[in-house]
A and B are shown apart, each in its own frame.
Chain A
Amino acid sequence: MVGLAATFGSGAMTNSINDFDDADLFLVTGSNTTAQHPLIGSRIINAVKRGAKLLLIDPREIPLAEFADLHLRQNIGTDVAVLNGIMNIIIEEELYDKEFVETRTEGFEQLKEIVRKYPPHVVEKISGVASRDLKKAANMYAKADKAMLAYAMGITQHTTGVDNVKSCANLAMLTGHLGRPATGVNPLRGQSNVQGACDMGGLPNVYSGYQPVIDAAAKKKFEDAWGVAALDDKVGLTITDMMIAAQKGELKALFVMGENPLMSDPDTSHIEQALSNLDFLVVQDMFLSETAVKADVVLPAASFAEKEGTYTNTERRVQLSGKAISPPGEARPDWRIICELSTLAGYPMNYSSPADIMKEINAVTPSYAGITHERLAGGYGLQWPCPNVEHPGTPVLHKDKFSKGLGTFLPCEFKPVAEMPDEEYDFMLTTGRIYYHYHTGTMTRRISILEREAPEALLEIHPDDAKKMGIRNNDVVEVTSRRGAVRLKAEITKRVPQSVVFSTFHFHEAPINLLTNSAYDPVAKIPEYKGCAVKIRRCV
């Protein structure tokens, strides 16, 4: 998000899900779309069947690879090099959109300067992508009329995540694939309300609607709206920094609402130490998650079916969800718990309903000003920005100009994965999700059919590697990184390239994030889940 915000002035999917039906070409990278966003993946499959082109950049042979016109399997973490290489060819062969570059962007010379250093043979050496494939990819993307670029965590979960995103944005701007229907740069967001959590200011540096906490006017606005004297005017800690502060003993208390960092965060043993070091841990959840087990107080929360409220999907569409049943036992909706707690702590919150809360959101958040429960009840959601109650919402961002005026090329140099394999830790571990499960499995692993379909974690390993090590299908193997060891069964498959293994973080029996590296992107603070060095041993 930081990467897109820096380039365009707004960090969100530029286009809409329905645009997938109209594009001529898709550049999909770092997204196993059919598994993680199945109903977007299916649209890509349908589009290919009607003649659209699919250009896939992904180290793994994911299901979409069967439909790809061209699949570049780059070495893990070499995305910037590949994208720079594609831009190098586009500029060299003058395939770029000169009018768009001239009228809508700035910083083209700097881009040229940097990508000049990435001719095909250099990129081939770094990434393993053949020069001729790179040229083909550049031509395909640049020459398409309506090309949509879609990415997910495979791009962001790197120490170079922001650079990867900026490079995607550079490529789209260079070719003018922006600001029109069925084009754009489209981050596919992985959780039902991750977009909304950001929009609502669940971030250390901004209030709702991305209004900076260091901006005096924004601070004053919220002080007035909330009737408080002096809000904190310094940027707070990110989750990554919180864990560090907790380990150092600077952070004393942590309140976790509906998350499970002890499974979802990298280098879990360090997270565990950090949480143990706290004086006070509160977890508000539906289940006694791995994190909740460590808590001093656990507050039982309602599920999505037991409360009313809105969620913002990956295309910025805010939708209203109703209450079907009552929560079990004494569980309560999160908003009620917060109201009561805040009141007890001396700051009364007296909201009668989520609709009532939304009225306040409308008043203080310009992009959500026109999104009322009343309007949402009578339709299928509104896409922000929606500045007033007459506004129909915004399906395509950056139509005539970028949120920040001109789009800025922010070229990046290639940097390798923070922890590359070496003699001892000779494999690269990359992680992700599988189709049947979601996140840390607290919900999906309590669904019998999903549990039947995918009951246990598997380690994907290439047949040649398996053969060398005498590993057969379903053999138990131990995967060890510098941070920990996990045992799980092997699945021998060509989905992964040689010297790369893949697994998921859904299964508490094999908590893969014990192994992952907490080295993170310096700007976005996203950890490098997608690559770390491990060694593998067959257990007997």
Chain B
Amino acid sequence: MKTLAKKDLIETLTIWAQKHDVLCPTQTDPGDCIFDTFREKTFTLDYKKPPLSPKAVFFPHSEITFKVENNEYREVVSSKNTLIFGIRACDMMGILQATSFMSRDQKDIYYSAKRNMGMTIVMACPGPQNETCFCTTTHSGPFARKGFDLQFYDVGDTFLIEIGTPGGEALLSAIPLTDIDDTHAEQQIAKFQKKALRHLPEVKSVAKAMKKLKDDKADEKIWDSFGQKCITCGGCAFVCPTCTCFSVYDHQFSPGNGLRARIWDACLYGGFTKEASGHNPRASQALRLKRRHEHKLLHYNEIDIQGSLCGCVGCGRCSDYCPVHIGTLEVVKAIAES
């Protein structure tokens, strides 16, 4: 197995940045930690979950899909060599889920073009990032089991590097590595994983809530109470690594000149399910919240890819960033206790 000395990480990222747009954890001037284009000065390894998951790289919040210029139609499929360094395992699973969704039936060319040119390097978590992490429960962390090009294990002064794909292996050819005995490396990784898992106990209410929903035994009143306080910001869908709904808008600049763009949409917005007649099958915020959580926790059986029958990757962002505490954790707790 290969290892990379921590002191050589900056050099490594610099080398990769020659051929890729390297996105990595970045400390901004005011003190936020978000993913941004690699710069030596602002790169940090001391990072937690930023509000946006890496889905924003392959499925931007706002993206032009075609343009019409002088009555000529032109499809706009943008893509570039991207390398995301430092993805957490939950977000890696999020990418797999999103990719699976975007590839079903008819392939989404805009997503695929970007995903196909995107390399993913996972940084295995040594434990929870904060109190809302529950990836062990959803079988999506704290280390990735598939999907990554490379996975790094931080074991002090060095990173142990697990290779996931030939593309990942190719990335290693240009950087300063040291060989390490495989058995020793595997022992170290096993130790790392065991410790990480110990710090992330299963959240029992998730399975309980899923069962209750399946048996149709969840108390309907909880949706009313959540619906009453939801401020309809849409943030839960936007920060969710597996939410991929979008809306489109057209801009006409002059006759024969314009564009179409697609933008993130959220199922908690009333207009999301409103029909042309004016009828809305999800007429209340309570019903919309119910549908959202049933979608995540109940209706994922056939397309399950993480062995947990769940459309949630346990990143906890919806709990972190909901202005009124209606995250998955709060919802499953309410269902389980109802």
B-contacting residues of A (Cβ < 8 Å)?
A: 34, 38-39, 41-43, 45-46, 49, 66-67, 377-380, 435, 448-449, 452-453
Contacts and interface: CB of A to CB of B under 8 A. Distances in A.
Interface string B8-48: 00000000000000000000011100000000000000000
A45 B247 contact: no
A41 B271 CA distance: 22
A45 B30 contact: no
Interface of B: 29-31, 228-229, 231-233, 247, 249, 263, 265, 269-271, 274, 323-325
A380 B30 contact: yes
Contact of B30 (A34, A379, A448, A453): A379
A378 B30 CA distance: 4
B324 A448 contact: no
Given A34-B231, A449-B265, A42 B324 contact: yes
B254 to A, nearest CB: 13
A378 B270 CA distance: 39
Nearest to B228: A66
A452 B271 contact: yes
A39 B30 contact: no
A38 B232 CA distance: 10
A352 B50 CA distance: 35
A492 to B, nearest CB: 15
Given A46-B325, A377-B29, A38 B271 contact: no
A42 B323 CA distance: 6
B326 to A, nearest CB: 10
11 contacts: A38-B323, A43-B323, A46-B323, A46-B325, A66-B228, A67-B229, A377-B29, A378-B30, A452-B269, A452-B271, A452-B274
Contacts of A34: 231
Contacts of A39: 323
Contact of B229 (A49, A380, A435): A49
Contacts of A452: 247, 269, 271, 274
B304 to A, nearest CB: 30
A380 B232 CA distance: 26
A41 B231 contact: yes
Contacts of B274: 452
Given A34-B231, A38-B233, A379-B31, A453 B271 contact: yes
A435 B232 CA distance: 9
Given A378-B30, A453-B271, 6 more contacts: A34-B231, A46-B325, A49-B325, A377-B29, A449-B269, A453-B270
Contacts of A379: 30-31
Most A-side CB within 10 Å, residue of B231, B247, B274: B231
B289 to A, nearest CB: 15
Contacts of B231: 34, 38, 41-42, 45, 435
Contacts of A45: 229, 231, 324
Contacts of A49: 229, 325
B269 A453 contact: yes
B247 A448 contact: yes
Top 3 A-B pairs ranked by shortest CB distance?
A42-B323, A452-B271, A448-B249
B229 A378 contact: no
B325 A449 contact: no
Nearest to A34: B231
Contacts of A41: 231
Nearest to B322: A42
A499 to B, nearest CB: 28
Contacts of B249: 448
Nearest to A42: B323
A272 B17 CA distance: 58
B250 to A, nearest CB: 9
A49 B269 CA distance: 24
Nearest to A436: B232
B226 to A, nearest CB: 11
B269 A448 contact: no
A46 B249 CA distance: 35
Contacts of B265: 449
B278 to A, nearest CB: 8
Nearest to A50: B325
Contacts of B232: 435
Contacts of A448: 247, 249, 263
B30 A449 contact: no
Contacts of A449: 247, 263, 265, 269, 271
A34 to B, nearest CB: 6
B110 to A, nearest CB: 18
A458 to B, nearest CB: 13
A39 B271 CA distance: 22
Nearest to A453: B271
A47 to B, nearest CB: 11
A313 to B, nearest CB: 15
A205 B161 CA distance: 68
Contacts of B325: 46, 49
A55 to B, nearest CB: 18
Contacts of B323: 38-39, 42-43, 46
